[in-house]
A and B are shown apart, each in its own frame.
Chain A
Amino acid sequence: EIVLTQSPGTLSLSPGERATLSCRASQSVSSSYLAWYQQKPGQAPRLLIYGASSRATGIPDRFSGSGSGTDFTLTISRLEPEDFAVYYCQQYGSSAFTFGPGTKVDIK
Chain B
Amino acid sequence: QVTLKESGPVLVKPTETLTLTCTVSGFSLSNARMGVSWIRQPPGKALEWLAHIFSNDEKSYSTSLKSRLTISKDTSKSQVVLTMTNMDPVDTATYYCARLTRGFGGRYYYMDVWGKGTTVTVSS
Contact = CB atoms under 8 A, between A and B. Distances in A.
B42 interface: no
B111 A35 contact: yes
Contacts, number: 67
A89 B60 CA distance: 20
Interface in A24-65: 32-33, 35, 37, 39, 43-47, 50-51, 54, 56-57
Contacts of B74: none
Interface residues of B, number: 24
B33 to A, nearest CB: 13
A15 interface: no
Given A51-B103, A99-B39, 19 more contacts: A33-B108, A33-B109, A44-B96, A44-B115, A45-B96, A45-B114, A47-B110, A47-B111, A50-B112, A51-B110, A56-B112, A57-B112, A88-B47, A96-B61, A96-B63, A97-B109, A99-B48, A100-B46, A102-B46
Interface of A: 1, 32-33, 35, 37, 39, 43-47, 50-51, 54, 56-57, 88, 90, 92, 95-102
